[in-house]
Amino acid sequence: MARTLAMFTDVSLCIGCRACQVACKQWNQLAPEEPEWTGTYQNHHHFTDKSYRLVRFFEETDDKGQIKQWHMMSDVCKHCAQAGCLEACPTGAIYRTEYGTVNINQDICNGCRYCVSACPFGVVAFNHDTGTATKCTFCNDRIHNGLGPACAKACPTQSIKFGFRDELAVVARKRVDELKTLGYKDARLYGEDTAGDLGGLNAFFLLLGKPSIYGLPEKPKLPQKNVVVDSLLSIGSALIVGLGALVAFRGRGGQGDA
Amino acid sequence: MEPGLLKSADWPALIDVYFFLGGMAGGAFVIATVANLLDRERYRDIVRIGYYVAFLAVIPGPVLLTVDLGLPTRFLHMLMVAKPSDAIGMDAITIGPFHLKPFSPMNAGAWALLGFSLFAFLAALDVFLEGRGGRSMRTLRVVVGVIGGFFGFFLAAYPGVLLGATARPLFIGAHWLGALFLAIGASTGGAAIAFVLSLSGGQRGDALSRLMRFTAFALIVQLAALALFMLTVSTSGSAGIARSLSHLVAGPYGVPFWLGAVVIGIVVPLALQFAGVIRKTAPAMTALVSVLILVGGFVVKYVIIAAGQAT
């Protein structure tokens, strides 16, 4: 595998201009959609089959309900090192590229939608026109030709940075220290630690507060980790039922009532 | 975890029908196999009906799945891919054009459906030929029954494990869904055989009574697994998960859950069984109770999947 590529989104630099969202739409030729009223500047509520990039707007309130801080974050597929969608995919349409990113092969995807419900971040969306699942590819065509993803290129404040994961992690850690000295006590990285949840996220974030402020799960879990335990319990149930059948049908004649 | 930001597969009810029929087929097959192993002459009718039910119930499976996917060739994608195994997930195995992903219950389930269909066909063919005066190959039937029985167990349980391997709040911490679905497969498989047996009047000796005893036992396992599922989910401590559970037991699915899945599907059949009513009034009461168990078995799967997808 080649060196892992990653995206580092620094929310402290995001100005909510949505250049990334527009660039993504244009490069990936994603059709226009009916706008959605979300109560904020955000449009849409969530990732769709035609919105792979989404600038989220959050109003953090204090105990009295007064707006404390306005947060903006450009959200994207996390290309998890342990990806729920990839593990769920029954067809192998979802695969890991040599750069560590996660892609959906549109010719193989059979539209079962299992990945949609298996993503811990609700990223993957189903396209009803093609009958396939879709999501951000980190602009697979661009990165294989030495160009960065369209969103990172378009970002005017360098809130979105793209590059080799190990190099970006160093930049990110330095930036957190910088912000802390500036007084942003709650600044933290989300998904940068490769020993952390989901083996680290290849799109990781610098947040100015708790992940829940940004609609991110505090501790995302790989759903497939349940398979072993759930299967063992199923086997236990099978043994009990099988034993019950042996007892019920065993023996000679007589009344077989409970 | 904030459920509002998660997405749902929004599987339609025909997937529930497949899960129900697959479970029933697996349960009926296992019952027929056990009965055949213990006394093939005495349980001749249970074996015959069990293998027929298994085969007939599994036939719609691939059809329902293909209807959901839209194109017949798309089902083949579940089994074949042109990708190296290290790119498509944990412990994936590729042999020629085929692949098996042990951590993708949907992929493993597709293989189980294929394997089970083959063995259900062979078993049904064997009892059919025997019924037409042909000779049944005893050893072969045992081999087909045992291997097919393992596939049958798998087919009954895997949809529960499949749901548990999603990020949906009601499912991700549930753990007991596979065990529950297996027990439902056993109870509905038993009920389906009992229903046909009681109507056809083909029962001999105490076979039907023993079948109902086993079905009642499967219902107790079903009740226990359902209780453990609810207990596990309710003690998870997350507000989102608690909301999902309340959607199931007190929200729009509350009435069908308690009335359909618990009272009609489990409590009433068990009460009638333990009061000795079924034995005394067989076969008419057996047929009625079998229908209750089948209805309850479908409703419990339907409401759990619907509530889990909605919240």
- Residue A39: pLDDT band (50, 70, 90) is confident
B176 touches chain A (CB under 8 A): yes
Give me the pLDDT at residue B4, please: 57
**Is B179 close to A125, i.e. CB distance below 8 A?**
no
- Residue B85: pLDDT band (50, 70, 90) is confident
Using an 8 Å CB-CB cutoff, list chain B residues near A226: 161, 164-165, 172, 175
Domains defined for chain B, CATH in brackets: 3-310 (1.20.1630.10)
Using an 8 Å CB-CB cutoff, list chain A residues near B274: 258
Query: Does some domain include residue A237?
Result: no
Between A46, A110, A231, which is nearest B178 by CB?
A: A231
DSSP annotation of A80: B
Nearest CA distance, A215 vs chain B (angstrom): 7
Nearest CA distance, B158 vs chain A (angstrom): 8
Which CATH number fits the domain that encloses residue A62?
3.30.70.20
Asked if pLDDT for residue B237 goes beyond 80, the answer is no
What pTM does this model have? 0.94
Query: Does some domain include residue A145?
Result: yes
* Rounded mean pLDDT, B1-21: 85
The residue type found at A173 is: R
- Give the tens place of pLDDT for each residue, B89-135: 899 999 888 999 999 999 999 999 999 999 999 999 999 998 888 77
Q: Which domain holds residue A19?
A: 5-76+141-224
- Residue B2: pLDDT band (50, 70, 90) is very low
In sequence order, which residues have a C-beta less than 8 Å from that of residue A162 and are 6 or more positions away?
A: A5, A6, A7, A8, A138, A148, A149, A152, A168
B294 touches chain A (CB under 8 A): no
Query: Does some domain include residue A149?
Result: yes
B253 touches chain A (CB under 8 A): no
- The complex scores an ipTM of 0.95
The residue type found at A176 is: V
Query: Does some domain include residue A205?
Result: yes
Query: Does some domain include residue A245?
Result: no
Using an 8 Å CB-CB cutoff, list chain A residues near B183: 237, 241
**Is B160 close to A230, i.e. CB distance below 8 A?**
yes
**Is A230 close to B165, i.e. CB distance below 8 A?**
yes
The number of folded domains in chain A is: 1
Asked if pLDDT for residue A254 goes beyond 70, the answer is no
Query: Does some domain include residue A207?
Result: yes
Residues written for chain A: 258
Angle ∠(B303,B253,B256) on CA atoms, nearest 5: 75
In sequence order, which residues have a C-beta less than 8 Å from that of residue A147 and are 6 or more positions away?
A: A139, A153
Between A221, A227, A254, which is nearest B103 by CB?
A: A227
> Which residue does chain B place closest to A100, by CA atoms?
B87
